[in-house]
Amino acid sequence: MENFTIYNPVKVHFGAGVVEQLGAVIAPIHRKVLLVYGQGAIRKNGVYDLVMQQLHDAGCEVWEYGGIKSNPIIEDVDAAAELGRHNGVGVVLAVGGGSVIDSVKIIAAAIVAQCSAWDLVSRKTKPTGALPVVTVLTLAATGTEMNPFAVVQNQQLGIKTSFSSPYSFPVHSFLDPAFTLSVPSHYTGYGIADLMAHVMEAWFGKGDSPLADKIVVSILQEAMEAGPQLMGHLQDYNLRARVMYAATLALNGTTMHGRLHGDWGVHAAGHVLSLLYGVPHGASLTIVYPTWLRLMKDRETLRVQKLLGHLFQTTDIEDGIQKLEGFFKSINCPVRLGELNLPATAPAEIVDQMIRNRVSGMHHQLSSEDYRTLVSLME
Amino acid sequence: MENFTIYNPVKVHFGAGVVEQLGAVIAPIHRKVLLVYGQGAIRKNGVYDLVMQQLHDAGCEVWEYGGIKSNPIIEDVDAAAELGRHNGVGVVLAVGGGSVIDSVKIIAAAIVAQCSAWDLVSRKTKPTGALPVVTVLTLAATGTEMNPFAVVQNQQLGIKTSFSSPYSFPVHSFLDPAFTLSVPSHYTGYGIADLMAHVMEAWFGKGDSPLADKIVVSILQEAMEAGPQLMGHLQDYNLRARVMYAATLALNGTTMHGRLHGDWGVHAAGHVLSLLYGVPHGASLTIVYPTWLRLMKDRETLRVQKLLGHLFQTTDIEDGIQKLEGFFKSINCPVRLGELNLPATAPAEIVDQMIRNRVSGMHHQLSSEDYRTLVSLME
């Protein structure tokens, strides 16, 4: 095992009705609130009204910034930060999925740093603090509700990149599985795929940690047990709860104990698909992971074999990868570029963008030759 | 799944050499330090010198309280609190195993509350705060290094009881597996048994949580893989690290996510053996757990069967319990009272003390008739 640090101060309030505590939690922090949300789903499913009622009853003054995109862009982050800064808010409340919460982490740091958000993300300016962040999660997928990480894209520069700081843990996260009951089938599947990809990035990271490995397998097995059941019963609270908790545990640090770092090469490759064609994050991962495993089967044979063996009781790697593809299909996720309706030029464009972004894992380096192999395997 | 809260702000520094950061961590908190330790093992294995060097180099002033017993008593807690209070210390540093860290949590609260420690433990006085607690762990077992719980005994009243408060999380815990290399074989085995008992108390608690169940099994499997290897190679750093991390994860809240509470009936029964005859905590658990499982096999058949099935690939409960006993024996732990050299009156005394202490689980109630059954099964 490698030396490691465990530290995660997020207070997670999990379960039915937990948002009834939102006002009581926010008011003592600050009564001037910047509320950030996405494309308006929360106005349809009632979550917006519940949250506003809480803030109103707690005597909070609220400024709203809606319209965060599902692959969030830096322009929205800057505009929201300016709104909050101008009005002297003291707490930033994210109501939404990963894109909204990720954006809010950068907004909260940019308000304090008084600089453009891209200066923080590009590491030109080092964050010195952040406003307290509170989140209300409406999509089980990224795990951002219990970690300090964020991903944002800069369309102009053609970069999708990550941000984190010691100040970027949410203070409180409210996770009511009932708030995800209205998530449509496809996005439910993408979320399951996303959480699975997170723990696989840990599995293929640097450093032997046998118990963390067992937890990776536990989370994968949980996703593969509850996930398909949920796809057939989207209104089942308990199945929503199981997937929501699995997604949180998948990226709150637990799978990294005893390792130096994860790999994240598959995420880096997937980001290229999102950046070029707006492919939903989870869908990009289900296309890249099987191909990446085929690329790695001769380099990391034992690790690939061991993981697939745990999941599918097979010692044959190709058989295991096909079973993984079969699982992804069973939760409505694509496994080939051909399913996405992309232009005929897509494969070459993807390789070019991978070269420009120097796509690679932290543990398993990828070369230009690898990009071509990966993309040809995706076709 | 039940509603639950995740909150654990302890910063764990895990690995070889982490104590080199101790001075840099403590000095910004406060430079007047109350150092608490046990029966002097740390003076023999060099840990005391390392810690004192760190405190000295960081310019700290240190008051020492040594001699905490392995089943800690309230008189020591009071005496140490008085020493700290009198000298105006601002941080309490525990260097030792569970007994020392548990004591320090109560000491840190008693210094602030300015009352007798028993007033806090008996809930006569509610803690309103605590001095910051830092720990250096020297025994992998109880998990206290990453939770707010403590256990202490009052010999005079014949009670061994628990304490916790929102202020009783250590701020920092330093876990260097090398500091446990000198732990003798028996106590190494007790530690492994203790961590296993902790996750079993979660398994038999109230509330269905499939992923938390998988993590319980993962921790048990890790202990049963690394534990016996460690018993044969007490000087192996990596095996010490695996057991140390498993013990921390076993009681830092993770196994309780999605449950209302654990059971803790086996711990309550084990405490009686420690109180009456000074039986080491881990040894008391390996005697009680198999007998408790035999008591529960008709009441909680499916849960007992499922757990033993995961661990020993058997559907026969008695076969599984015997295999669990075999495992405990393989790590030098007793499974019958007869191995402890107790007086002939012990069985009756244990039943009487169980009645006086109203020994029970939080989920599975125990009656006087159950006490007699349990004790007869232990003989």
Strands A4-14 and B4-14 turn out to be antiparallel
Task: Using CA coordinates, name the residue in chain B closest to A250.
Answer: B211
Using an 8 Å Cβ cutoff, are B8 and B75 in contact?
no
Give the minimum alpha-carbon distance from B150 to chain A in angstroms, rounded to a whole number.
21
Whether residue B18 and residue A3 make contact (CB cut-off 8 A), yes or no, is: yes
Q: Tokens for A195, please give them.
A: 């959480």
Whether residue A4 and residue B16 make contact (CB cut-off 8 A), yes or no, is: no
Residues 6+ apart with CB under 8 A from A322: none
Instruction: Name every chain A residue with its beta carbon within 8 A of the beta carbon of B5.
Output: 11-14
Residue A158, pLDDT > 90, answer no
Span B204-242, pLDDT tens digits? 999 999 999 999 999 999 999 999 999 999 999 999 999
| Per-residue pLDDT band at B108 (split at 50, 70, 90) | very high
Instruction: Detail the DSSP E strand segments found in chain A.
Output: 4-14, 32-37, 61-65, 91-96, 133-137, 149-154, 159-164, 172-175
Higher-pLDDT residue of B70 and B265 is: B265
Span B301-355, pLDDT tens digits? 999 999 999 999 999 999 999 999 999 999 999 999 999 999 999 999 999 999 9
| Per-residue pLDDT band at A205 (split at 50, 70, 90) | very high
| Per-residue pLDDT band at B40 (split at 50, 70, 90) | confident
Interface of A with B in 228-257 (CB under 8 A): 238, 241-242, 245-246, 248-249, 254, 257
Structural domains of chain A, with CATH: 11-180 (3.40.50.1970), 196-378 (1.20.1090.10)
| Average pLDDT taken over every residue of chain A | 97
Task: Using CA coordinates, name the residue in chain A closest to B223.
Answer: A211
The answer to whether the Cα torsion of A92, A96, A101, A104 is positive or negative is negative
Whether residue A257 and residue B242 make contact (CB cut-off 8 A), yes or no, is: no
Q: What mean pLDDT do residues A324-330 have?
A: 98
Residue A159, pLDDT > 90, answer no
Give the C-alpha separation, B368 to B356, whole Å: 10
Residue B160, pLDDT > 90, answer no
Instruction: Name every chain A residue with its beta carbon within 8 A of the beta carbon of B6.
Output: 10-12, 14, 146, 248
Give the minimum alpha-carbon distance from A71 to chain B in angstroms, rounded to a whole number.
28
DSSP, collapsed to helix, strand or coil, labels residue A209 as coil
Higher-pLDDT residue of B58 and A45 is: B58
Q: What is the pTM of this model?
A: 0.97
Rg from Cα positions in chain B = 20
| Average pLDDT taken over every residue of chain B | 97
Check if A166 contacts B (Cβ < 8 Å).
no
Give the pLDDT score at B159. Answer: 86
Q: What mean pLDDT do residues B170-178 have?
A: 98
φ, ψ dihedrals at B49, nearest 5° = -65, -45
Give the strand order in the sheet containing B32-37: A61-65, A32-37, A91-96, A133-137, A172-175, A4-14, B4-14, B172-175, B133-137, B91-96, B32-37, B61-65
Residue with tokens 């349990």, as numbered in its chain: B374
Give the C-alpha separation, B133 to B170, whole Å: 5
Give the pLDDT score at B158. Answer: 84
Check if B225 contacts A (Cβ < 8 Å).
yes
Give the pLDDT score at B161. Answer: 86
| C-alpha distance from residue A370 to each of A291, A336, B200 (Å) | 11, 17, 47
Give the pLDDT score at A88. Answer: 98
Q: Tokens for A100, please give them.
A: 């909204």
Whether residue A226 and residue B214 make contact (CB cut-off 8 A), yes or no, is: no
Helix (H) or strand (E) segment spanning residue B4 = strand B4-14
Q: What mean pLDDT do residues A89-118 have?
A: 97
Whether residue A3 and residue B16 make contact (CB cut-off 8 A), yes or no, is: yes
CA A51 to chain centre: 23
Residue A70, pLDDT > 90, answer no
Residue A40, pLDDT > 90, answer no
Residue B201, pLDDT > 90, answer yes
